Amino acid sequence: MKMNNLQVINHPVLAAKLNRLRDKSIPPYEFRELSRQISTILLTYATSDLNLKPTGTLSSPISSYEGFNISERVAIIPILRSGSVMIDRNQFIYIFEPLYFNSAYKYPHSIDIQI
């Protein structure tokens, strides 16, 4: 499998959350919450190079400003089971119009996936 755009994220908050997530004694509710938090961090990094398109002049209570929206179609593809928490739309910090979902299965002991 060719991975030209692999990005390794070395962030101390992410590392600490992953460390806790891997603990076999973690209760299910904490696992889900940590998964959501980790997904938000990963989504922030994964979308850092998306292009913007202007939406025109908008008004805030203080002044007018030029607005922007994401100009690209975005698909989020979680790995099944633990990754399915990523599709909890309420935890996304971004609004995508439209938002596409798919799922993938990761083969054990391999980086290969089936979509």
> What pLDDT, on a 0 to 100 scale, did the predictor assign at position 44?
84
Q: Copy the structure tokens of residue 67.
A: 């607005």
Q: Are 108 and 81 in contact (CB under 8 A)?
A: no
114 within some domain: no
Report pLDDT digits (tens) over 39-60: 888 888 888 888 999 999 999 9
In this prediction the pTM is: 0.67
Classify residue 24: in a domain, yes or no.
yes
- Asked if residue 42 belongs to a domain, the reply is yes
For residue 53 the two structure tokens come to 């398109």
What stretches in the chain show pLDDT beneath 50? 90
- Give residue 90's pLDDT: 45
Q: Which domain holds residue 63?
A: 12-71
Closest alpha carbon to 55 in 44, 42, 66, 63:
66
**48 alpha carbon, distance to own chain's centre:** 11
Domain tally, the chain: 1
Residue 6 lies in a domain: no
Residue 66, in any domain of the structure: yes
Residue 63 lies in a domain: yes
Give me the percent of the chain exceeding a pLDDT of 70. 66
Within-domain flag for 103:
no
Q: Is residue 49 part of a domain?
A: yes
